[in-house]
Amino acid sequence: MPIKLTIPMPDDWHLHLRSGEMLRKVLPYTSGHFARAIVMPNLPSPVVTRHDALTYQQEILRYLPKGKSFTPLMTLYMTENTDPNEVRLGFLTGEVTAVKLYPAGATTHSNAGVKDLEKIYSVLEVMEEIAMPFLVHGEVVDTNIDIFDREAVFIETKLMPIRQRFPKLKIIFEHLTTKEGVDYVLSCDQNTAATITPHHLVINRNAMLVGGLKPHYYCLPVAKRELHRLALVKAATSGDARFFLGTDSAPHLTTAKESDCGCAGIFNVANAIAVVTQVFENENALNQLEKFLSINGANFYQLPINKQRITLERFSESQPIPEDIKTAEGIVKAFDPMMDVCWKVV
């Protein structure tokens, strides 16, 4: 007898869709497996205004495959000049769901990000007042700080002061990668949550560094030691309402990954649900899967649980890795989780 699981349609609470042909190529995978997604605003020309968000949303919907019901939830890119009134109006009209903090220089297309956090306090005051989620890329960018320590240092030097000053601000610590991050979220009340990616649940830094440099496992925040991966798995499979899926699926051409200065990002959305389900099965936690994929995030964002359903089937043998995506400019490689995955969305 085949094993099947049917759960409410999941949401992706952290997604990079890009634009143009890349958007057209990757969107079918998201719209096939997710009802909604928080769309990252770090395009080459960042999404900084309501008009930018509406224009980008229209482009996404223009490429949506026929028959798919998918809602892109738009975000604004926080800068030191972000207008608090623009943020308020965007949220109250439903045009914008959240605002994203990129420390300047932290990751792809983050040069327009924030250097001095005090310069955004007026925006955070408004966001706290209206209960608008503040999405945080939690790394410091000080070159004196080891890249593997940047999340932990960010918590102590940046995030804790923000939380102390704005105790009711809804903060989502995105793409969590460390035990320190897990412990911090667990120490907070229900105004703090975190997204966890499929790749950080299954790879540690050995995947990128052992046996030769493997650029397709390079992402930011970078994968850490095994003890941190295990802490993420424990948090995700616990059922705790503060943890939910954000794939951080970030497509790059192979030529951009395999270069002298390779891009950070893993395209995982084609098999994200299957990989996560396998992790939960391995931990004897399939009874918590629905919370992580379909419930916790919606509740934190104060959105209804999706009425659509999705079915996963477990096969007796490992399922093949999704095919690479072919574009006019080159190939995007799908995520290889380096483990057997016997689940598939059917």
> Which residues does the annotation mark as catalytic?
248
3-state secondary structure of 255: helix
Residue type, 88: R
CA–CA gap between residue 309 and residue 9 (Å, rounded): 5
CA–CA gap between residue 225 and residue 161 (Å, rounded): 27
Distances (CA, A) of 162 to 37, 128, 157, 159, 165: 26, 11, 9, 5, 5
**Length of the chain, please?**
346
Give the largest Cα separation in the chain, rounded.
59
Rg of the chain taking only CA atoms, in angstroms: 19
3-state secondary structure of 114: strand
3-state secondary structure of 170: coil
Residue 8 token pair = 């409410």
Do residues 12 and 38 lie in contact, with contact meaning Cβ atoms separated by under 8 Å? Answer: yes
Distances (CA, A) of 215 to 209, 266, 275: 9, 10, 20
The phi, psi pair for 253, rounded to 5°, reads -65, 145
